[in-house]
Amino acid sequence: MASPPWPKGQKLVHLDLKGAPPRPEYLHKLIELFSQLGVDGLLVEYEDMFPYEGKLQLLQATAQPAYSRDEVLSMQEFARSKGMEVIPLVQTFGHMEFVLKHRPMWHLREMSHCVGTLNPHKEEGVKLVLEMVRQVVELHPGLKTLHIGADEVYMLGDGEDSNLWLGSPGRTVEQLFLSHVTTVAKAIKETWPHITIIMWDDMMRDMSQDTLKASGLVGLVQPMLWDYTPNLDVDKTASLLERYCSAGMTDLWAASSFKGSTAVYTCVTSTQRHVDNHLQWLKVAARLSTGVKLKGIAITGWQRYDHLSVLCELMPVALPSLAACLQTLIHGQFSAEARSKVTEMLGVSSVEVEAAERTSAVDTLFPGRRLAELIVELNSLLASEDLRFFENGMFVRGWFSPYHRQRKMVTPLISMQIHNQASAYLAMLQQKAEAVREEMVHLYPDSTAQEWIEEHVSPVMAPLQQITEDIQACLKEIVP
């Protein structure tokens, strides 16, 4: 059954730049597409791609250069010209791996072995966060809204300073979380009173209404409740939004997902999974009481689970999913009409990128389509049993076991057969990987292509390579 379309409020697309940061030209093409798809704004998580200056310069990426000040400004200008608001996201508590991994910042961690969480007791840490915010705000002229992160603050309360602080009667880890976020939010409001502040909600999910009311956060921040699962619990989610509302936080946001939330290493997006997530969110929106003011929804597209994890799916393979999710919100269901709108706009035969054949020669509304096609092709080869389980095949196990390799006693005829087969697979992989690399470097930095191939292709090639080398070594011993 259809729900009503997504209620008023903004539809934001999340640009996660902590992995595979698009080259500026490609970024502009994506923004152009987003505007055609009905997106009202961008939630931009720059992380180490922001051109931090002064003492913070060490936060800039080294695998590829960070965006320049001009590139950051022209991206905003272009988005504005398409009627989109740009909302930067700056992590201020958890997920600060890109800051706290640097040796000069080690002492600001809550726990020495937890690279993501800031120690909230050190004034230097608060100053650092506010300096990051200041530089970001100043490079966003006319900024109206800022997201301060604050999700997944792992191990909070476990550090020495926290133990001391928690030693005083009546103090809790919840209060510790709330006091740091309130400090940060108040400081931002003092300097820029007109800025609206958004934050992730997950650290507040188990807090009572009284705790939230007493925190000083009410009226200061707008929580963004995120859930990316296809089987999102509608009742639970709706009642959580109602609880925030009763605590006085009436302005609320939702966050869904169009990619980067399936598995940490997913390579090709499944559209249906993400459409299902949006169908659940539509049910949540339809169930809310009038007191809840839904400010909008951020459709997240994670590029890494965190700064130190592998790449998730790249943007091109996820564009059919994004288009389908937006159409689902617009229609209140993923109807035949919504489906044909997606295939028509993108010039493909299916909303599932794995099944999508081209229906139009022009690439206008699907920037990066060639790369998506090549990735899908290579991915199916990488996933094939013949390649993945080559070492478990009868011939390798029967005539070229570790025992044989060690003693260099093999049957030349069968070994040569194995060698030819492995070499053929290697050549095929090499050729397809090269095509992917060539296409990828047009849209992404060389470092991204390098990382993508090392993550997806190298692990499949390595054992095949090893077998061919081992066979050659063995044949030398037995063939004149």
Strand partners, 223: 199
CA distance 44 to 17: 8
CB proximity list for 290: less than 8 A, separation 6 or greater: none
The token pair that represents 61 in the structure block: 């990426």
For the chain, report the end-to-end CA distance as a whole number of angstroms: 74
Q: How far is CA 155 from CA 41, 67, 92, 445, in A?
A: 33, 32, 15, 34
Q: How far is CA 58 from CA 66, 84, 114, 143, in A?
A: 11, 31, 20, 25
Catalytic residue among 32, 152, 391, 451, which?
152
| Cα angle for residues 303, 308, 311 (degrees, 5° grid) | 30
Say which amino acid occupies 366.
F
Dihedral, 62, 68, 71, 75 alpha carbons, nearest 10: 70
Largest CA distance in the chain: 86
CA distance 127 to 140: 20
CA distance 311 to 292: 36
CA distance 26 to 294: 32
The token pair that represents 176 in the structure block: 């510790």
Dihedral, 470, 476, 477, 480 alpha carbons, nearest 10: 150
| Sign for the pseudo-dihedral over CA of 69, 71, 74, 76 | negative
- CA-based nearest residue to 183, from 253, 243, 121, 250: 121
For this structure, is 152 an active site residue?
yes
The token pair that represents 137 in the structure block: 């705000």
Other CB atoms within 10 Å distance of the CB of residue 77: 12
What is the Cα 245 distance to its own chain's centre? 28
In terms of C-beta density within 10 A (0-12 exposed, 13-18 middle, 19 or more buried), how is residue 4 classed? exposed
Residues belonging to the active site: 152
